[in-house]
Amino acid sequence: MATKMDVDEAGSAPPDLNRLYDLDSYLKPFDKEIKRRYKCFVDLLEHINQHEGGLEKFSRGYEHFGIHVTEDGGVVMREWAPGAEELYLMGDFNEWDKTSRSFKKLPFGKWELVLPPKDDGSCPLDHLSKYKLVVKDKHGHLLERICPWAKYTIPCNETKIYEATFWNPPEKYVFQQPRPKPSPSLRIYESHVGISSWEGKVADYKYFAYNVIPRIKKQGYNCIQMMAIMEHAYYASFGYQVTSFFAASSRYGPPDDLKLLIDMAHKEGITVLLDVVHSHASTNTLDGLNQFDGTNACFFHEGSRGTHDLWGSRCFDYTNWEVLRFLLSNLRWWMEEYQFDGFRFDGVTSMLYHSHGIAHGFSGDLGEYFGLPTDSESITYLMLANHMLHELNPNCITIAEEVSGMPALCRPVSEGGNGFDYRLGMAIPDKWIKILKEQKDEDWNIGDIVHTLINRRHGEKTIAYAESHDQALVGDKTLAFWLMDAEMYTNMSCMSELTVTVDRGLALHKMIRLITNGLGGEGWLNFIGNEFGHPEWLDFPRVGNNSSFHYARRQWNLVDDETLRYKFLNNFDRGMNLTEAQFGWLAAKQAYVSNKHEGDKVVVFERASCVFVFNFHTHQSFTDYRIGCDIPGKYMIVLDTDNPEYGGHGHLDHTTEFFTEPFQQDNRANSLKVYLPSRVGFILAKQEDDNSK
């Protein structure tokens, strides 16, 4: 990443807005605001080049700040604490004397401490020894603090407060595998290491590497999204109340075990994304960033702007030079030290608006996205972060958790966009839950379902999902639970009679996931366990459940039991992924929906070389049902939710060859006739050899 290139190629020229306006001409009235945002990005980049020697150097803050071993065997420690009157270091190395090791004050709120090596020439801090910072505030109080740049933190056995632990192993981990090139069809397995075991405990990195990655590979996923890796003192926060931004959570094992996990994923050709939380931080003071220097500011805005009322957390001050260094360096640290292939940015909607999106019902009026409610500093940071990541690694993947529909969020920075590659299709799972919760099957509005699935910005890629961790958490229900509820405990055995409830649940679970996968986006996401209809919600050990691990696990024993019906959903999930890998519809242009019939409850659409057909009718099947098809030729069924291997009834014959006729149907030049059993979805794929037609 050349420092000169940062400005000359990305900054001096105006953004290519013609490309943006070709995709959406309705953005033209906001030309001035889009250019203003881009100029904010350019100005910031130029300042970094002028005062820091470029973004390359600026984003390596972790090499300068924090604690480092010097060439002579000693250590040097540097911190940024502008509100501190004095700064000290204590730990195992000095028997926890609070004030015997004092930092030297430097300009711009920075501090430095040099410790010489021991008499034998060894490092003054032993590997895995504990240390803390002591801040003397303006009132003379001595405040114990954790190093913001700490690479490894472990909770104290007595207090449970996390303490910085000096990570300096005699042998450094060396990655064995190169990064795999990401697939244009992302099939993401959203994962949480701690809950990945069937046992009632916190699983570790090695367990995930040796037991879960093989499952992910077998299921046909090509990407893992890892949640709750950045250290968080409160396990039940699901990793969203981060306390140490540079530390991989020690509850799952040491840093090298995470590196092993990523290495093993790369060996299988699987890319790995980190769920990164730069939208807010924990309010913890003793083991977090909050009030680090004894003031209410430092890393965060002071006053109400620095507090997220809904999440009870602190909001970063993206106008602050050292905060930008800290966050950009954080992204680079995870990418370079741990070899992550990209990031899913949490809480992007909260960052984009001064209201954090709280009680803000976005109507779709473009004026809502370009007026005073937007947070320019946050937007500039996101543009800078995406620019940096894609300069470092052109194959880097960035995904925004964003619900408002901000235009150009997923367009390149060079076009005046925010630079993300994908956004999450967050309205889709909400729609499915609402339908299952409030409507009878016969009342489903087919047009409304299709609209929700295709309602995304043209030219901006979306990750589709029918459910994620949000629906799995206690207080909500997964799709399987909404569909089958209590019968999942009594009627999922293949030895028992197939009940109406379970039959319906299995059928709709597969249909919902397939139509969402085929129609809803340019990528697919599944939360760990949902592929086989995990029967229980997710609830972390906490006071309210007597610190129980019973619901903080994944019951692989259920899907591995050949006598249970969970295997059918798992088989279908694998079949869907492998079929997509063969035909690549996620990487193809958005589908053309030729039929969405309210009375028949039928949906038909074409994508890639496939025709997707769904009959959501509760009981009506259709024979010789004519469907439109633009590309003429021979078609055959390549995936069928009614396949007995997937728990279906086998009503469709996969040896049947379907030939198109030059007969217009539903605005398509050709058509063919099919049999549509009720509550069944299937895919017809064009066959290469059409000579028999």
Q: Is pLDDT at 692 greater than 80 in this prediction?
A: no
Q: Give tens-digit pLDDT for 126-155.
A: 999 999 999 999 999 999 999 999 999 999
d(CA 16, CA 6): 16
SS3 sequence of 236-277: HHCCCCCCEEEEECHHHCCHHHHHHHHHHHHHCCCEEEEEEC
- The pLDDT, as a whole number, for residue 135 is 98
Q: Give tens-digit pLDDT for 475-507.
A: 778 999 999 998 999 999 999 999 999 999 999
Q: Give tens-digit pLDDT for 67-93.
A: 999 999 999 999 999 999 999 999 999
- The pLDDT, as a whole number, for residue 363 is 79
Q: Is pLDDT at 14 greater than 90 in this prediction?
A: no
Q: Looking at 100-104, 147-151, 330-334, 360-364, which range is the least confident one?
A: 360-364
DSSP helix/strand/coil, 342: strand
Q: How confident is the model at residue 180 (pLDDT cuts 50, 70, 90)?
A: very high
- The pLDDT, as a whole number, for residue 11 is 46
Which two tokens mark 189? Answer: 């397995």
DSSP class of 20: H
CB proximity list for 354: less than 8 A, separation 6 or greater = 305, 373, 374, 375
DSSP class of 176: -
DSSP assignment string, 396-461: -EEEE---S--TTTTS-GGGTS---SEEE-THHHHHHHHHHHH--GGG--HHHHHHHHH-S-TTSE
Q: Cβ distance 254 to 152 under 8 Å? A: yes
Q: How confident is the model at residue 6 (pLDDT cuts 50, 70, 90)?
A: very low
- The pLDDT, as a whole number, for residue 691 is 52
Helix ranges, 469-526 (H):
469-472, 479-484, 500-519
Percent of the chain scoring above 70 in pLDDT: 97
Q: What's the whole-model pTM score? A: 0.96
Active site residues: 346, 401
Q: Where do the domains of the chain lie, and which CATH numbers do they carry?
A: 3-52 (no CATH), 61-165 (2.60.40.10), 189-426+448-491+524-539 (3.20.20.80), 427-447+492-523+546-693 (2.60.40.1180)
> Is residue 311 within a helix (H) or strand (E), and if so which, with residue range?
none
d(CA 390, CA 392): 5
Q: Give tens-digit pLDDT for 154-175.
A: 999 999 999 999 999 999 999 9
Between the CA of residue 203 and those of 19, 167, 458, 485, 499, what are the distances in Å?
47, 22, 41, 27, 35
DSSP helix/strand/coil, 10: coil
Q: Cβ distance 613 to 535 under 8 Å? A: no
Q: Give tens-digit pLDDT for 36-67.
A: 999 999 999 999 999 999 999 999 999 999 99
- The pLDDT, as a whole number, for residue 351 is 97
Q: Give tens-digit pLDDT for 436-487.
A: 999 999 999 999 999 999 999 999 999 999 998 888 887 778 999 999 998 9
Mean pLDDT computed over every residue of the chain: 95
Q: How confident is the model at residue 1 (pLDDT cuts 50, 70, 90)?
A: very low
- The pLDDT, as a whole number, for residue 483 is 96
Q: How confident is the model at residue 13 (pLDDT cuts 50, 70, 90)?
A: low
Q: Cβ distance 686 to 608 under 8 Å? A: no
- The pLDDT, as a whole number, for residue 81 is 98
